[in-house]
């Protein structure tokens, strides 16, 4: 029980519910000999045999009997063709599927039908999920289709095997062994992704190495694409903007120079020759030291459109990242991407999608939604969320992120009046954008359990489920994952789901409560509110919290940077007015006196202390509740999670002590009685190393 099997465990179900499934499925009929149809067979036969605890085999000569599960498309299966599903299949599109209880030639069968083999594969995985999480039914009538066309994982993997912000080991792509040796694990990665409907993987870091576009590395990428293809996971790459100079010695990478454009066309031809279903490019340009069109005096639109022309000939796309902020003195990082990109609304080619992080700063435990959502009606936009827990305790902490993504997707931009949620902006309903997409920065690595923390698997799962259906509730997702991965014991499932649902708010509380942000130390793990030497001011915590004797928080109203003006009314006024700004966003938008009276009746200082304490208390409580699950979950995973919770509790206290002791030097207020008094001094906390150990003094 090392967690390798993720949510695809297929151990025999023991409850009464399983008995009903057992009597309704006896054989499978999965005609077709393509790699995808073979993958479906290879998944369903062992999975159903395992789950149902009896041998399920493909029926000889594809004969239907009572209890046959038929999978395919009207072209691969004559039984499916006979059902005349044309209209229903047209409705679910290329990647959707139908699952129905049917009578064919007098036989009671279950049918998984789709227009394409990939749709059938997604249907097969959905069916397995039903068996594991739902009561059996002889009356199935399901139709599903994904809401986003492109559902991608972004891997920040370097060619040397390391992963930027990766906390689960080394890269799954063994670049040094490829293409000669193919790690069988690649197939399991593709299965896991396809089981959720993820249909693309960007293989390399957004801080790209030009080498990834050399013939040698393209052959390696092609070998990965070959493994992924049957599972519908298309490969994408991050091209370094200056690659024409670095790889072939061109004098410039100016996107308007015809020689440069020709270089990219030729490079793209070379890629498509090796990877015919190559998805396209993801680009980080003129951001944090990466080269881009502005390096050559051109605009973001010039750069994006030049690359877009190169891939358009093959139906490829360009995802252009909006993570752009320059260290302009006096500027507000949260306002910069909007200011830089909004003037280009309507100027991007039809196969360009602007990839925008959920919040305007950077994947903090809580941020308001990025104001670009709902503000560039003539530009296709897609959200980028971070699955890897760069700012939420790496792989040492439980922070179930579905609740955060729900909050983000449900945010009302008011762009076209009430109800203009982020979901409706990005799924094309609000402005009718035709290319819809979503990206998640992966939390996978070559650790045996894939994600470092067993419970962090739930975030990979949750991302995939929301990418398929952005309306799913966090509870539904947590419930599915827990049943598939940990236990079917109802009471325990409920308890684990509760823990998951509470976990992200707990991290917010003990790390950055009340709208504070970016308080972490350099490795983005522990607290560092006092700041440290940085290359630019907007990388230091003090830039964000602005704690002083008169109060704390970043004034983004008219008396400050006025970044709040980037939001539509009535949200703008709600955020801008201290009396209506939600507590959770308070210090994001306002600089507030320490003695300010909060809604709770407490002063800001007391409330801040209490939030920190609440976060810490949760970790202690979670430990007890998890310990009580011993014996329900196998000892191996139970113990591993219990150990992580010990670390999480220690870290929470570290964050609380750091925040309270440091901010107290400004507030000059005592700690309220219901808050544990720190047992160490600020200097002692500051002297801890990057991971909170007292060994050697760092600063």
> With 0-12 CB in 10 A as exposed, 13-18 as middle and 19+ as buried, what is 219?
middle
Among 95, 390, 479, 651, the active-site one is 390
Q: Is 206 in the site for ligand BDP (CB under 6 A)?
A: yes
Report in angstroms how near the CB of residue 348 gets to ligand BDP at its nearest: 19
Rounded to an integer, what distance in angstroms lies between the CA atom of residue 577 and that of residue 589? 9
Q: Is 164 in the site for ligand BDP (CB under 6 A)?
A: yes
Rounded to an integer, what distance in angstroms lies between the CA atom of residue 270 and that of residue 274? 7
| DSSP character at residue 679 | S
Q: What is the 3-state secondary structure (H, E, C) of 149-170?
A: CEEEEECCECCCCCECCCCCCC
Residue closer to ligand BDP (CB basis): 362 or 538: 362
> 621 catalytic, yes or no?
no
Q: Is 163 in the site for ligand BDP (CB under 6 A)?
A: no
Q: Is 162 in the site for ligand BDP (CB under 6 A)?
A: no
Q: Pick from 447, 453, 482, 486: which is nearest to 647 by CA? A: 453
> 483 catalytic, yes or no?
no
Q: Is 336 in the site for ligand BDP (CB under 6 A)?
A: no
Query: H/E element holding 97?
Result: strand 97-104
Q: Is 390 in the site for ligand BDP (CB under 6 A)?
A: yes
Question: Directed axis angle between helix 490-511 and helix 474-485, to 10°?
Answer: 120
Residue closer to ligand BDP (CB basis): 354 or 640: 354
Among 332, 362, 407, 617, the active-site one is 362
C-alpha dist (Å) from residue 655 to 16, 512, 533: 46, 9, 20
> Which one of residues 100, 126, 165, 465 is an interface residue with ligand BDP (CB under 6 A)?
165
DSSP string, 199-250: -EEE-S-SS--GGGGSHHHHHHHHHHHHHHGGGT-EEEE---TTHHHHHH--
Among 288, 412, 489, 621, the active-site one is 288
> Which one of residues 332, 362, 607, 657 is an interface residue with ligand BDP (CB under 6 A)?
362
DSSP-based three-state secondary structure for 105: coil
> Which one of residues 7, 10, 296, 363 is an interface residue with ligand BDP (CB under 6 A)?
363
Residue closer to ligand BDP (CB basis): 140 or 238: 238
Q: Is 207 in the site for ligand BDP (CB under 6 A)?
A: yes
Residue closer to ligand BDP (CB basis): 362 or 483: 362
Q: What is the 3-state secondary structure (H, E, C) of 599-652?
A: CCCCEHHHHHHHHHHHHHHHHHHHHHHHHCCECCECHHHHHHHHHHHHHHHHHH
Q: Pick from 147, 150, 93: which is nearest to 470 by CA? A: 147
Report in angstroms how near the CB of residue 524 gets to ligand BDP at its nearest: 6
Residue closer to ligand BDP (CB basis): 284 or 545: 284
Q: Is 337 in the site for ligand BDP (CB under 6 A)?
A: no
> 362 catalytic, yes or no?
yes
Q: Is 638 in the site for ligand BDP (CB under 6 A)?
A: no
Q: Is 323 in the site for ligand BDP (CB under 6 A)?
A: yes
Residue closer to ligand BDP (CB basis): 83 or 392: 392
Report in angstroms how near the CB of residue 388 gets to ligand BDP at its nearest: 10
Scan residues 248-287 and list those touching ligand BDP (CB under 6 A).
Answer: 284
| DSSP character at residue 433 | -
Q: Is 538 in the site for ligand BDP (CB under 6 A)?
A: no
Binding site for ligand BDP (CB under 6 A): 164-165, 206-207, 284, 323, 362-363, 390
Active site residues: 288, 362, 390
């Amino acid at each position: 029980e090392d967690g390798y099997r993720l949510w695809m465990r297929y151990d025999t179900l023991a409850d009464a519910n399983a008995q009903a499934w057992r009597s309704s499925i006896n054989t499978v009929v999965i005609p077709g000999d393509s790699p995808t149809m073979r993958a479906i067979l290879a998944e369903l036969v062992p999975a159903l045999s395992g789950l149902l605890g009896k041998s399920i085999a493909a029926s000889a000569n594809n004969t239907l009997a009572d209890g046959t599960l038929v999978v395919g498309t009207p072209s691969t299966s004559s039984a499916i063709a006979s059902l005349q599903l044309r209209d229903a299949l047209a409705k679910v599109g290329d990647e959707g599927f139908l699952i129905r209880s049917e009578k064919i030639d007098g036989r009671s069968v279950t049918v998984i039908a789709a227009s394409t083999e990939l749709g059938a594969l997604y249907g097969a995985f959905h069916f397995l999920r039903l068996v594991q999480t739902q009561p059996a039914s002889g009356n199935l009538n399901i139709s599903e289709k994904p809401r986003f066309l492109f559902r991608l994982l972004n891997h920040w993997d370097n060619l040397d095997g390391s992963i930027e912000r990766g906390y689960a080991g080394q890269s799954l792509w063994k670049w040094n062994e490829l293409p000669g040796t193919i790690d069988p694990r690649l197939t399991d990665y593709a299965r896991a992704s396809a089981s959720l409907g993820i249909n693309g993987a960007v293989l390399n870091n957004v801080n790209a190495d030009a080498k990834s576009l050399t013939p040698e590395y393209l052959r390696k990428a092609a070998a990965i694409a070959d493994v992924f293809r049957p599972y519908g996971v298309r490969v994408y790459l991050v091209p370094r903007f200056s690659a024409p100079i670095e790889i072939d010695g061109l004098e410039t990478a100016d996107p308007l120079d015809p020689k440069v454009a020709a270089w990219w066309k030729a490079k793209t031809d070379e890629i498509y020759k090796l990877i015919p279903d190559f998805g396209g490019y993801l680009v980080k340009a003129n951001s944090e030291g990466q080269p881009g069109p502005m390096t050559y005096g051109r605009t973001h639109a010039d750069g994006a459109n030049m690359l877009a022309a190169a891939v358009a000939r093959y139906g490829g796309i360009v995802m252009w990242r909006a993570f752009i902020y320059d260290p302009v003195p006096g500027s507000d990082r949260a306002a910069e991407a909007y200011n830089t990109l909004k003037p280009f609304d309507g100027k991007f080619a039809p196969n360009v999608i602007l990839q925008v992080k959920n919040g305007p700063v950077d994947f903090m435990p809580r941020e308001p939604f990025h104001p670009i959502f709902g503000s560039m009606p003539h530009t296709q936009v897609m959200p980028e969320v971070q699955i890897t827990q760069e700012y939420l305790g790496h792989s040492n902490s439980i922070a179930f992120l579905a609740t955060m993504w729900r909050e983000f997707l449900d945010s009302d931009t008011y762009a076209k009046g009430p109800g203009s949620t982020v979901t409706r902006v990005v799924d094309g309903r609000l402005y009718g954008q035709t290319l819809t997409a979503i990206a998640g920065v992966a939390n996978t690595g070559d650790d045996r359990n894939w994600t470092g923390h067993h419970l962090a698997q739930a975030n990979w799962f949750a991302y995939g489920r929301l990418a398929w259906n952005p309306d799913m509730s966090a509870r539904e997702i947590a419930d599915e994952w827990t049943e598939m991965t940990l236990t079917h014991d109802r009471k325990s499932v409920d308890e684990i789901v509760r823990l998951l649902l509470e976990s992200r708010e707990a991290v917010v509380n003990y790390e950055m409560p009340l709208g504070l942000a970016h308080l972490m130390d350099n490795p983005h793990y522990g607290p560092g509110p006092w700041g440290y030497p940085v290359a630019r001011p907007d990388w230091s915590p003090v830039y964000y919290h602005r704690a002083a004797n008169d109060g704390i928080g970043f004034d983004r109203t008219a008396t400050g940077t006025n970044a709040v003006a980037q939001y539509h009314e009535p949200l703008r006024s709600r955020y801008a007015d201290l009396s209506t700004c939600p507590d959770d966003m308070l210090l994001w938008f306002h600089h507030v006196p320490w003695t300010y009276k909060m809604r709770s009746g407490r002063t800001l200082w007391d409330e801040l202390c209490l939030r920190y304490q609440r976060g810490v208390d949760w970790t202690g409580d979670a430990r007890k509740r998890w310990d009580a699950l011993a014996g329900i979950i196998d000892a191996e995973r139970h113990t591993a999670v219990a150990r992580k919770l010990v670390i999480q509790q220690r870290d929470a206290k570290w964050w609380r002590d750091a925040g309270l002791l440091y901010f107290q030097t400004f507030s000059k207020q005592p700690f309220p009685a219901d808050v544990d008094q720190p047992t160490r001094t600020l200097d002692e906390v500051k002297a801890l190393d990057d991971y909170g150990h007292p060994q050697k003094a760092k600063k």
